[in-house]
Chains A and B, each alone.
Chain A
Amino acid sequence: MKTTEFIEIAADLDNPYLQKWKAEGKKVVGYTCSYLPDEILHAVDLLPYRLRGINTTSTMIGDTYFGPFICSFPKCVLQLAGEGQYSFLDGAVITPGCDSMRRLDECWRKTGEDYPNSAPDFFHYFGVPHKIVDYSLDWFVDEIRDLINAVEKHFKVKLEEDRLRASITLYNNSRKLTAKLDQLRIQENTILSGSDALAVILAGTALPRETYNMLLEDFLNDVEGSKKESNGKKKIMLLGSVDDSIELMQTIEGERAVIVADNLCFGPRQNVNFVDESEDPIPALAKRYLQQSDCPRMFGLYKERLETVKNRVTEAKIDGVILQNIRFCDLHGSENGLLERDLEAAGIPCLKLEREYGPMVETGRIKMRLDAFMERLDK
């Protein structure tokens, strides 16, 4: 598969593989957060579909249900739902990634009362704890079991252990492939732009996993020997709020930079750390998913996240770090403040950038700030 095909898939909510899946009479369940174990849905033949808010031209519906001081990401998701663009969903699972995302639960349910067919029949709230201790892990195991019960009951399916183990293996294979992709990005002369890499990752959130692994493997075999992307360009690491905008990545990269690493919700970080296949599958899934400390929703783990970023900066020979956050994203916004302080103190140049999710209406402002940052990196 070529990069352009991944870009096509990533640039739209719908794709041919999804259409084929639906045409076969199979179901799709949307979800909001990387703390949801996809394997559970996959093992009962449901397509886990990561919800996005792309291609919105208005947030009129989002603004009607959410208040004004809310992040534009869930508003855009709600907008698309209200417009009926998520009508292919058979279910939705909402996770407390942050306060704004948590309230998507109520806002979407109420939108469903006003706009016919805008909300799926199956709605489930998946309560992920905010810390990693033995009893929160137990809680999370129970949450996973609740999700399984709800899914089994609504979709009239039965989760078999061998199917779950097979799904875990499949997703672990996917993680191995993503790790290869990541290595291609950070090599001395990278052959992948950040925006292309994002497209490859994003496609995985909307495709059946077997198909995705096959396409990704083909891609990795083909891409070796491609022209170098990084010749003379500044190597950037991108951190912060949820970003599934290829356009934003392209704007950042421009002619003078290449994003070779990131630590983003939609980025490759979700595909590292394997599920232990030798353990009982549900506790093993719980461990793998809850022990992701990369998101600031896991309170009190800033030092661990800082260490991860510093290691990545060294490994990928990063010239500068861009810390972006969507307006009203308090978690990333304030963590970016800490990261700026600590990374700059370690001699790593940083640019802190606030933006809106959705259509790129601030390109001029962002470009101007990026130019200034590039000038700084040139010195």
Chain B
Amino acid sequence: MRKEIMEYDLDWTLWSMMSNASKLSNSTDKELAYLLKYMPTFSELPALFSAFGEAGTTFFEMAGTYLNNILTARERGKKTAITTFCLSPAILYAMDVVPVTLELLTVMATVMWERGTADYLDFCIEAGFTETSCSSQRGSLGAYLAGLGVDIDFIVNDSPGVCDTNANAFAFTAAYLDKPFFQLNMPSDLTSKRATDYHRKDFKAMINFIEDQTGTKLDQDKLREILEEVKIQEELIGEIEELQMLTPNPSPVEFSFLVYSTRFLFSGSKEGTKGLRVLLEQIRENAAKGISGLSGGVEKSRALFCYIDHYTTDMRFWKMLNKNGVTHLGNILGRSWYEDSPLPQHQGNKDESFSIDTSNMEAMIDTMGAINARMPMIKSIRGPYDNPHMWLDDNLALAKMYNVDFIVYSGTPGCRNTWGMVKLFARDTEKQGYPTHLMYSDAFDDRVESWETTQSRFEEFLQVRRLV
């Protein structure tokens, strides 16, 4: 790793930038323009968010708080756990553990820095990790393997059976750093009683593991408080999803990103609820006026992203959507499976959704297990893509509900799981009448395919399929 990179911890650097960026909205335009000249490698992102006013500022504040929690965990007597976006952090918050979610830190650095996370990605390989593994973990993992982050107490992961590449990253980290490791396993089906029973036992075992690591029992009242907050958040997300069905979609394209980021950062916490309320308020205003959330104000085409977005430097992926008049109708990361949310209501299968029952400890543990079983990837790519309740089913339902014009796959070459089936998926969605574009780029690393190529292929698809 380059010497200058070794001078600063990843989590500290991100915190410094996020917390300072949140103050930009207090600047005058002249002050802002002057300030941005001194940030040539990440100037556009703060500018973009300052343009969103309260939504942008709130997001930076939230990210700053998340990172500050990591940095100050030790002095506050809390334990830190490396974990994945596939695991709901609510259980960790309920147990007073500070989550260090690798994929979130990777996205923050990828979005903000001109160079992305190249140094950390590459350090993983120096440490013996494969370069073909998923970049969403590698982007920040390299920093922790190199000792450029806070001390980690233990590792919890829930992707074995769903995404072994993801699980492998955490197993590798545990072995490399010699830290205690717990994995939740995922059976290939979602709705059987057998799967539910398995989830319950597995989730209880995870709670026992965390209790052993922290020396503290799970507090029933705290868990109830967190779950009540999750319920509020899911209702807010449900309303956002409902409003996104309008034509034109009143939600700015970047808000999909902010919705799922908020849930990953602060599920079950007041900070997250505040962030979602701010987003919803702005979408409601646009909806009341009947206007599109796109920066150009004209919705030319409606896109569903069947997997993830593309995160490299300055949010240029979303800028590309704005430029082309393409509205973003969500991806696998943000969907709510709460029983009252639009998609489970549309699907009409109660077992596929989750409810929130806070009546007693057993009910709450079942609720957490059910939420967790419906996290991104965990819900819909655990079994064969064409099985009921799985990837194809979910996306075809969404495509219909949201009246989409086309579907896009964006992922990483490290994603063995989706690349093992996405060609089949695309063939099926095309047969159903949805033009489907496969992005061959790496959502976290422009060195795999340059952004210019990615953009040019995307726009070519729009032109050739006459979508704009």
Report which A residues bind B (CB closer than 8 A).
64-71, 96, 98-100, 102-107, 110, 125, 127, 129-131, 133, 135-136, 139, 142, 296-297, 299-300, 302-303, 325, 327-331, 333-338, 340-341
Contacts and interface: CB of A to CB of B under 8 A. Distances in A.
B168 A296 contact: yes
B445 to A, nearest CB: 13
A135 B208 CA distance: 15
User: Which one of A98, A142, A325 has the greatest number of beta carbons of chain B within 10 Å?
Assistant: A98
Given A106-B386, A129-B185, A135 B424 contact: no
A296 B168 CA distance: 8
Contacts of B183: 130-131, 299-300
B416 A100 contact: yes
A103 B129 contact: no
Given A67-B423, A139-B198, A130 B415 contact: no
B130 A334 contact: yes
Given A99-B416, A337-B130, A341-B128, A64 B187 contact: no
Contacts, number: 142
A65 B420 CA distance: 8
Interface in B384-432: 384-386, 413-424, 427
Given A66-B420, A99-B165, A100-B420, A334 B198 contact: no
A90 to B, nearest CB: 21
A130 B424 contact: no
B74 interface: no
B384 A299 contact: no
A100 B167 CA distance: 14
B415 A69 contact: yes
Given A98-B164, A99-B163, A139-B198, A330 B132 contact: yes
Contact of A107 (B127, B132, B420): B420
B8 interface: no
Interface string B16-50: 00000000000000000000000000000000000
Contacts of B414: 69, 330
Contacts of B127: 337
User: Which one of A67, A110, A142 has the greatest number of beta carbons of chain B within 10 Å?
Assistant: A67
B198 A70 contact: no
Interface stretch (B77-85, B170-178, B314-322): B170-178
The 8 A-B pairs at the shortest CB distance, nearest first, are namely A337-B128, A103-B420, A67-B419, A333-B130, A99-B416, A130-B160, A302-B175, A299-B171
A70 B424 CA distance: 14
A66 B419 contact: yes
25 contacts: A65-B424, A67-B419, A67-B422, A69-B419, A96-B161, A98-B416, A99-B165, A100-B416, A129-B161, A131-B183, A135-B198, A135-B205, A139-B187, A139-B198, A299-B160, A300-B182, A302-B171, A302-B175, A303-B175, A325-B130, A327-B132, A329-B130, A330-B416, A336-B128, A337-B172
A340 B164 CA distance: 22
B161 A127 contact: yes
Nearest to A142: B194
A127 B198 CA distance: 13
Interface residues of B, number: 50
B130 A330 contact: yes
Contact of A333 (B132, B202, B205, B421): B132
A211 to B, nearest CB: 35
A333 B202 CA distance: 28
User: Which one of A64, A102, A303, A334 has the greatest number of beta carbons of chain B within 10 Å?
Assistant: A334
B25 to A, nearest CB: 41
User: Which one of B161, B169, B175, B427 has the greatest number of beta carbons of chain A within 10 Å?
Assistant: B175
Nearest to A332: B130
Contacts of A330: 130, 132-133, 164-165, 168, 414, 416
A110 B425 CA distance: 11
A360 to B, nearest CB: 21
B201 A135 contact: yes
B181 interface: yes
A337 B129 contact: yes
Contacts of B169: 334
Given A99-B164, A302-B171, A341-B128, A136 B419 contact: no
Contacts of A70: 416, 419-420
Contacts of A329: 130
Contacts of B205: 133, 135
B188 interface: yes
Nearest to B132: A328
Contacts of B416: 69-71, 98-100, 103, 328, 330
B174 A300 contact: yes
Nearest to B174: A300
Given A131-B160, A296-B168, A330-B165, A136 B420 contact: no
Given A66-B419, A330-B132, A125 B188 contact: yes
A330 B127 CA distance: 14
Nearest to A96: B161
Interface in B103-132: 127-130, 132
A299 B424 contact: no
B133 A334 contact: yes
Nearest to B187: A127
A269 B133 CA distance: 27
Nearest to B157: A299
Nearest to A104: B420
Contacts of A130: 160-161, 164, 167, 183, 185
Contact of B413 (A69, A110, A341): A69
